Structure 1
């Protein structure tokens, strides 16, 4: 179900203090829940020597949370140079950072490999020629095309812009060998918010089979396979929780069979974000208006700029009203922000207890792809982020944006060119 009962209870006991100190809106994350999920993931894959989770920074790029994850032994999957910088700032070394970019420039690759480096995971065979130097360890991202069914969010693999074909994979590793690369990894990313754990087992099987084929053809051994992320969370009350133990059991069996057949075994890497932090975050917002026209609207002081998933994807995020039981008399409403867009809605025709101005709405499961996907359209300013710590204290871990932030890029040295003249 959305938001654990434990997090809901912890939040309910401190929310009034948070409101008094910080005001709304804000995202708040649950340190206790995040740590418990980290520990559960590490424990599930203990039988695979060298298992490592590379948290996808795009889900929650906050250094305070990232430091928590690093303390649990996590590395970081980065899609941009600023994300690499964040990972380095929390003390991650080169092999604790994986740079999985796409449509990457020479300059980005050079910056990624400078200043301590990282694991380079190339999305396209043409990027080999753009490497500024030959890395000791190199990885390629595989796209199986029509041989696999796509996930509802990512879509059909053959329509995705990511990864190399099977033929390109063999060619890529051959080119890497010729260039003098000594160490290798193999990566894929097939799913997003996938609740069918068998899908992830099938993905591991697919990569192990490919690793065996490439190894036999080119006489190389892979140090790791990375099955990507995509482990889902139960956003809706009737969704089942992801079966982590079932997934781990199936993958462990596949690794054992691979070792028995081949006499060696790669490490297992993953790059989940949503599964790690998603259920352990909430957007807290105040009711500021009610409007009754063709529908009944509840207006809140957060907008789609603070949580775009419902507006862009039609995604469901559960909502409860602080201090009111969900068994209270219900009213069908749209919950809306102030953005000048009709899709600026956190809920559409949702049955919720009747509200008054000043009531507090808790929007569940914003711990990944919530604040991170925020934007400034309409001059909207992104809200603050808080951390509910294990000792019960609340820490501000990102201040709210200000108008000075919004206008900062207009403060620059004037520059004009005349085309055709030096």
Structure 2
């Protein structure tokens, strides 16, 4: 068996996904299809854990489930003894259905509803990450009614702007998320929480953005959080037990991307926190991280069948697949870049440069603007790697197209994790107009 870049290729020249032939997967389960390399998911979670254990730090690796949230994914994360964070009642309900341990669930979001917070309290989740003053009041009312207590953390905006897409920045002061440190909002929120005996203040949280390639922003955020922890211990005798520094570690989508290994970000963060804590003579807190993309993204593959072809004289040909923005909206939304391979000619040299188009009735439904490929035929299987994050989880039913099936592949064996939607599924919530 040989390797094409990072990808495995079998003797027939077919792309392999964790020991399974991608062409066979497409023929067996149909396309479009999303296939996950389960071994890659397990290995990344274990690499994160190893960093903490090597540094002898108490920790939690909390999978940011908005990247890809299904019953099967939650069960896989639980098998690896990791935590999850959820951002909606739907994600929390999925975790409940998966039998996920509720004490390992944290709940994010900047506009949690009363019903969502009640669900969190009723199921005794591990921690609610408070995002605003309205939420403190709402959660306090619910706890008073139910005569319960719950652990909480404060989400803070540390004033650190990550070098990433403007829609992916979340740590700057002008953000819809969290309590601003600079203006004193964060301190006011802390005082409100400490004054309520039903809220158990666990620690502080910051998330500076997504798809970040540089360590500096994380190190600066970690330093600011430790500064704040020292200040709050002095002023309020509050000991920060957990520093949650979020996620956002960048991954490789194309050959142009050159990110650090995700665990290297974590190693730098841990060392920065250790240094600052020692300088301020604080007790070392537990460090939590919330990787989503870096766990699910590289493990996911989108499989398509090639259909029509359009030749435009003087411009590159259009090669169309049977999916598109309905299963991966990121290129249309963010101009996100990907690369593709013909699964049945994975080792063949390129003959042409084409534009990979989707089937949706939108001019912007282009998955890849310029892709060098061997000459393809209708019926060939095209695979786009690194689509495991924010592909299926953002998938709409635009043009009344059903969403694809999802399979987990581990050591050559495939298992359906999400069934393919049927046309009947598309209309099951519709009501007749009489």
TM-score scaled by structure 2?
0.88
User: Which residue is 2:289 aligned to?
Assistant: 270
Is the 1:125–1:168 Cα contact (8 Å) retained in structure 2? no
2:168–2:211 contact (8 Å) kept in structure 1: no
CA shift for structure 1 position 377: 1.3
Change (3 A) 1:267 1:308: same
For the residues of structure 2 that align with 1:244 and 1:306, how far apart are their CA atoms? 25
User: What's 1:159 paired with?
Assistant: 174
Confirm or deny: 8 A CA contact 1:279 1:367 kept in the other structure. yes
- The one-character-per-residue Cα deviations of 1:345-379 (angstroms, maximum 9, x if unpaired) are 11113332221111110011111111111001111
Tell me how many residue pairs correspond in the alignment.
412
Match of 1:400 in 2: 420
Identify the residue that residue 53 of structure 1 maps to in structure 2: 61
> Are 2:374 and 1:359 aligned?
no
Is 2:9 aligned against 1:39? Answer: no
For residues 247-303 of structure 1, the C-alpha deviation after alignment (integer angstroms, 9 at most, x for no partner) is 333223233334433341211111111101111110000111111235421011112
Q: Which residue of 1 aligns with 2:221?
A: 203
How big is the shift at 1:160? 2.0
The 3-state SS of whatever aligns with 2:241 is strand
Task: Show the counterpart of 2:12.
Answer: none
- In the alignment, does 2:118 pair up with 1:110? yes
Contact 1:12 1:322 in 2 (8 A): no
Query: Which of 182, 186, 190 does residue 204 from structure 2 map onto?
Result: 186
Distance 1:62 1:236 in 2: 27
The match for 1:174 among 178, 191, 194 is 191
Q: Distance in 1 between matches of 2:239 and 2:93?
A: 30
Aligned mates of 1:361, 1:52 — CA distance in 2: 37
Cα distance in 1 between the residues matched to 2:31 and 2:264: 40
**Structure 2 counterpart of 1:136, from 128, 147, 150:** 150
Tell me which of 308, 312, 316 is aligned to 1:289: 308
Q: Does residue 90 of structure 1 match 2:131?
A: no
Match of 1:420 in 2: none
Question: Does residue 375 of structure 1 match 2:396?
Answer: yes
Q: Which residue of 2 aligns with 1:419?
A: none
Shift of 1:2: 11
Q: Is the 8 A contact 2:26 2:304 kept in 1?
A: no
TM-superposition CA deviations, 1:112-132 (whole Å, max 9, x none): 211233411111122211111
- Residues 12, 182 of structure 1: CA spacing in aligned structure 2 closer, same or farther, 3 A cutoff? closer
Q: 8 Å contact 1:34–1:280 — kept in the other structure? A: yes
Give, in angstroms, the shift of residue 154 of structure 1: 2.0
The 5 Å alignment of 1:284-363 reads 284-293=303-312, 295=315, 296-325=317-346, 328-363=349-384
Distance of 1:337 and 1:225 partners within structure 2: 43
Please state how far the C-alpha of 1:6 moved relative to its aligned partner: 4.3
Equivalences for residues 173-252 of structure 1 within 5 A: 173-180=190-197, 181-252=199-270
Deviation at 1:149, TM superposition (A): 5.2
Helix, strand or coil at the partner of 2:345: coil
Mapped partners of 2:262, 2:365: distance in 1: 34
Relative distance call for 1:164 and 1:232 in structure 2 (3 A) is same
**Aligned equivalents of 1:300 and 1:375: distance in 2?**
17
Contact 2:124 2:150 in 1 (8 A): no
Residues 297, 387 of structure 2: 8 Å contact kept: yes
Runs (5+) with no aligned partner, structure 2 = 10-14
Deviation string, structure 1 residues 221-262 (Cα, Å, up to 9, x no partner): 122111111011011113224244543332232333344333
Secondary structure in 1 aligned to 2:336? coil
- Cα distance in structure 2, aligned partners of 1:379 and 1:19: 22
Query: Which TM-score applies when normalising by structure 1?
Result: 0.91
- When the two chains are superposed, the root-mean-square deviation of aligned CA atoms in Å is 2.4
Query: What's the CA shift for 1:325?
Result: 4.6
What per-residue deviation string (whole Å, max 9, x for no partner) do you get for residues 329-351 of structure 1? 43222111111111111111333
Matched-pair contact (CA < 8 Å) for 2:308–2:321: yes
Give runs of ≥4 in structure 1 deviating > 4 Å. 147-150
